Structure 1
Amino acid sequence: MIDKTFKDTNKTILYTLGVFLIFSLGYFLITLVIQINADTAQKNKLLAQQQQLVAVEKTIISNKVNRLATDLLYATDALALGDNGRGDYSDAEDHWLAFANRKMIYDQIRFIDVDGNEVIRVNYDENGATLTDSDDLQNKADRYYFTAGINLAQNQIYVSPLDLNKENDQIEQPIKPMIRLATPYYGARGQLLGLVVLNYTANDLLAQVEKIATASQGQVFMLNADGYWLYNSADPNRAWGFMYDNRLNDSFKTDFPEVWSTIQSQKNSTLTTTAGVFAYTNILTATELELDLHHTLAPGLGDWTMVSFIPATTPEGQLLTRSLAATMLLVLRNNLFAYLLILTLAVFAGVILTINQVKNDEIKYYSEYDAMTGVFNRRTGFEKLKQLYKNIEKNEKLVSVCFIDINGLKDVNDFLGHDAGDELIIAVTRGIQNNIRSNDFLARLGGDEFLIIFEGLDEAEAEAAWQRIVAEYEQINATENRRYLISASHGIETISGSSNEYIDSIINQADEKMYREKKILKKNLKIVRDYVPDDKAGSPE
């Protein structure tokens, strides 16, 4: 009973595990596909937003620089219109003062002669535009923007790098981001007279970049050609590192060298790294700064790069950098309740399947085995014998059949009761099973008749096996105080590969031998012993 319960429990566990694995795997695959599709859609949306953001920033800055160049040309035209050729630039100065007050973004508007001397300088601050006195004008021949601008062709415009304004080699405080635009100025007879320079205060440009950056899911950087931050939404204090001797290593290219290397080779792309996802585009490239058919820009600032960076530590970054394994763990974690429910249903299904299997096993068992003895029944015994018979014909092997009939079963039933008769049948069965091989088998043909099939044994070898069985019966009879003797008659016939006899005929021959033996044994055999109760045994007569 315990063994059966243990086996049934094992079946329930196996069925439960099987059902749970099948349904949980199916559910897992479905939810994984749904999660992957949702993640992909969200990733594409995030990346598209970041790519659109850097594209908008690029458009804003490019348009801004083009407008600055147009303003420079206007200032140059105003100078030419106010130039009377006698060194009197009062009309041009009036135009520049009005222009500076209207624009409010130009720190200085200057005309510098070919020797680097300032001829006109309009300054602008919070109080408005003012004209610099001649005594305060300076020589700018050593400034990089003068050197670069004075050597340009007539229709070229120089655009300087974006940096911080310096006065007397000191960074002006508060800091003043500055871009300088310059173009050569020629007189009426075509002679080079000097350079017109606009000092553009780039605070409004950076303010526009910052405004767009607020729509980003991550961090927005604007980098110069050397990989330094011009704008850093995450930490504004890290901008302008190249302007300070003690911060020359404080740069994007130092923090993300591999990304910077990729940016140098691929000008517009999206890059996923362990640090996060970078969407970037180059801006202010030489090919993109096209002003009009008559003027070209000569940028000295190099390419800038606009970057949108989503760190891997943020929820958006985790989504964008999540591996398949991480997605699988997320699906499992998010569906724990569902798996618990599946497990509960699996346990219920496992119990139902076990009950059905037990019933089916019982049906199968009783269709193949004798309920009392546990050995094959008549139908199964004959089917197995037929299978062996076919193998005998193919392999030319021997099979011996032993027909058995229990002696005195009717007397035991009549005098001692059917319980004793059943006990006798079982004792005969156990004696046979204890003395045959694993490849031999026993079948109960019905009532007191049995059939032993000895595979590969001839008649003499089968007889030797039978004698071992008889010896066990005799030992039981001699050592156990049973009210009956265990005895059985037998008859053996051997089937060979060359035999043309039918199975039924061979079994009948074995049956005839058994009856001849039984007839001899019955003459002197008394199965039911004279019974003496234990409390009277040994008392005087």
Structure 2
Amino acid sequence: MARRSTSWRPFWTAFPILALIPIIAISGHAIWSFSTRLEEVRRSERFAVNLQREAVARGLFQVAADVCILADQNELAAFLADGESGARAGMAREYLALSRNARIYDQIRYLDDAGREVVRVNANDGVPSVVPEAELQDKAGRYYFAEALAVDPGQIYVSPLDLNIERGVIEVPHKPMIRVGTSVVDGSGRTRGVVLINFLAQTMLGGVEAAGAVSAGHAMMMNNEGYWFVTPNPPPRWGFMFPEQSDDRMPDLFPAAWDYMNKHPRGDVRTEHGLFTYDTYFPLEGLSDCPGPSGEAETSVARHNDGYRWVLASRVPESTLARWRRGAIVNALIIGVPVLILLAVGTRAVSVVVVERRRHRQHLESLARFDSLTGLANRVTFTEHLDEEVLRAKRYDRRFAVLYMDLDGFKTINDTLGHEVGDQVLIDVAAVLTETCRAVDVPARYGGDEFVVLLSEVTDVQVARGVATKVLDNVRALSWAGRAVGASIGLALWPEDSYDAATVVRLADEAMYAAKAAGKNRICLARDLAPDEPVSGG
């Protein structure tokens, strides 16, 4: 009789159900892998955009500071007073020195209230020179002159970023330029002109591009209308200055991302074109006005949101994100069900090892910084807090005190009742210190049965003595098998007793030994010690 074939029904009944577990595991791993990488990319993109922002701010802060210095120039004041040529020559020398040292300024100049250049220094590709008077130009028709002249004296003016134009023609090679300036007044308060610095913005733009090296995205910087200053090519840069490129804008190429950026000043957005991480930067943001007669400068916050902005961004193309997603799926499929199971076991083992190592490391750190018996800070940790307290006390003109305590009668309990009871004495005394002292104070075990407490922000010695009295009373109230201990306490106050932290601790120690010498179980102040006659313990 022929054998009947085994039915496949039980297999096909159970297998799909059982197969759901590895299928879900593989799918979940792929989703997790891609999500984790995407989150890491978001963080690195935000970091890159922050670096772009720092590069922009660094350049503008420096040039604004130099503008203020020139506006306050003695030679300029003298020139405005009497117009003498000697003052003008002095101005030119100052401009020349600044150009040589800064090396990022294409022009430094002073224009009178009619727009005529009075002094101008050209960078000349690293060989700056003073422009002869006959070659000075009339800039009355340029937008940046009128706008700079219109600001209040001392306020910083920052022009839009564009390419430099000389005699009506865009310079080649291109020179990205920002004009930073301020209006100046004479002794009578009348506006007499503007100080202007042509900032070679390529250094700033280079910093923006360099920031893109730390992330997977492409660094970008746009103006208020979405034209690019910095971008991967294509699209081209400076489209607003060339009619044939007027349609090469962020709103035209990436409309969804640009619309989101206009509604939210910073953040990230993912569209069909990729992940865009961005921040809005107003050129006047954070710039302080030039110091006035009082020597103080105010930040031009009222003029930050004046409608003109730059958008700093980084874009990860959708093709890159899709490639990462495919890679996550492929890797999950390659690993397979058996490897996923082994990986789960291995991951658990590794996580246990990592957690245990972390716990062990934390335990070792605790042993190095805290007393293992009482849980109080040890000598090293106390010294660190003491040094920090000295800095705070100096900065905010505060006092602090050091309480130095040695237990009286501890050795008798330790010898008669045993070390376990002796350890409990130390633990209970440490608990008294913790409960009696304030949260800002630092109790510590210095060694053996000696304890110290850093009393922060005490107003005078009476406050410190009050804390010491509470500690002494609470220690006296403790008992073990009918036995009690006392405490000899020394107090030293900073800066009354000493301006040196180590000396304050030493004086508190000497005061403690003075308390012992005076009969124990009492409080002694460092200020009551005889000068140059420290009390030493035996």
Name the TM-score class by shorter chain.
0.5 to 0.7
Matched, 1:308 2:314: yes
The match for 2:475 is none
Matched, 1:31 2:30: no
The match for 2:143 is 144
CA contact (8 A) 1:156 1:296 kept: no
Question: What residue identity is the alignment partner of 1:43?
Answer: L
- Structure 2 CA distance for partners of 1:335 and 1:18, relative to 1, 3 Å: farther
Once residues 223 and 100 of structure 2 are traced to their aligned partners in structure 1, the CA distance between those partners, rounded to angstroms, is: 30
Corresponding residue SS for 2:72: helix
The match for 1:272 is 270
Once residues 44 and 277 of structure 2 are traced to their aligned partners in structure 1, the CA distance between those partners, rounded to angstroms, is: 10
Cα offset, 1:98, TM superposition: 0.7
Deviations 1:235-289 (A, max 9, x none): 1771111110110001122100111111011011111112211111111265544
Question: What residue identity is the alignment partner of 1:85?
Answer: A
Instruction: Give the unaligned 5+ runs of structure 1.
Output: 342-541
- Among candidates 51, 56, 74, match of residue 51 of structure 2: 56
Cα offset, 1:334, TM superposition: 3.2
CA contact (8 A) 2:180 2:196 kept: yes
The match for 1:256 is 254
Cα offset, 1:212, TM superposition: 1.5
The within-5 A match list for 1:422-501 is none
Question: What residue identity is the alignment partner of 1:247?
Answer: Q
The within-5 A match list for 1:288-299 is 288-290=286-288, 294-297=297-300, 298=303
Corresponding residue SS for 1:239: coil
- Structure 2 CA distance for partners of 1:301 and 1:229, relative to 1, 3 Å: farther
Cα offset, 1:178, TM superposition: 0.3
Corresponding residue SS for 2:123: strand
CA contact (8 A) 1:159 1:301 kept: no
Report how many residues are paired: 329
Corresponding residue SS for 1:238: coil
Matched, 1:225 2:224: yes
Corresponding residue SS for 2:214: coil
Larger Rg: 1
CA contact (8 A) 2:122 2:131 kept: yes
Once residues 328 and 16 of structure 1 are traced to their aligned partners in structure 2, the CA distance between those partners, rounded to angstroms, is: 31
Q: How big is the alpha-carbon RMSD for the aligned residues of Structure 1 and Structure 2?
A: 2.7
Matched, 1:97 2:100: no
Question: What residue identity is the alignment partner of 1:294?
Answer: A
Q: Which structure has the higher relative contact order (CA within 8 Å, separation 6+)?
A: 1
The match for 1:208 is 207
TM-score normalised by L of structure 1: 0.56
CA contact (8 A) 2:268 2:278 kept: yes
Question: What residue identity is the alignment partner of 1:271?
Answer: V
Once residues 13 and 335 of structure 2 are traced to their aligned partners in structure 1, the CA distance between those partners, rounded to angstroms, is: 19
Corresponding residue SS for 1:190: coil
Corresponding residue SS for 2:195: strand
The match for 1:384 is none
Once residues 127 and 40 of structure 1 are traced to their aligned partners in structure 2, the CA distance between those partners, rounded to angstroms, is: 50
CA contact (8 A) 1:112 1:194 kept: yes
Deviations 1:265-316 (A, max 9, x none): 10111111122111111112655444575355557781111111111111x4
Once residues 90 and 32 of structure 1 are traced to their aligned partners in structure 2, the CA distance between those partners, rounded to angstroms, is: 76
The match for 1:235 is 233
Deviations 1:28-54 (A, max 9, x none): 212333333333322211100101110
Once residues 144 and 171 of structure 2 are traced to their aligned partners in structure 1, the CA distance between those partners, rounded to angstroms, is: 18
Instruction: Give the unaligned 5+ runs of structure 2.
Output: 291-295, 342-538
CA contact (8 A) 1:225 1:305 kept: yes
Cα offset, 1:69, TM superposition: 0.7
Matched, 1:197 2:181: no
The match for 2:185 is 186
Question: What residue identity is the alignment partner of 1:197?
Answer: L
The match for 1:389 is none
Corresponding residue SS for 1:262: helix
The match for 1:282 is 280
Once residues 122 and 22 of structure 1 are traced to their aligned partners in structure 2, the CA distance between those partners, rounded to angstroms, is: 82
Once residues 274 and 210 of structure 1 are traced to their aligned partners in structure 2, the CA distance between those partners, rounded to angstroms, is: 24
Corresponding residue SS for 1:146: helix
Once residues 46 and 338 of structure 1 are traced to their aligned partners in structure 2, the CA distance between those partners, rounded to angstroms, is: 30
Once residues 210 and 219 of structure 1 are traced to their aligned partners in structure 2, the CA distance between those partners, rounded to angstroms, is: 8
The match for 1:45 is 40
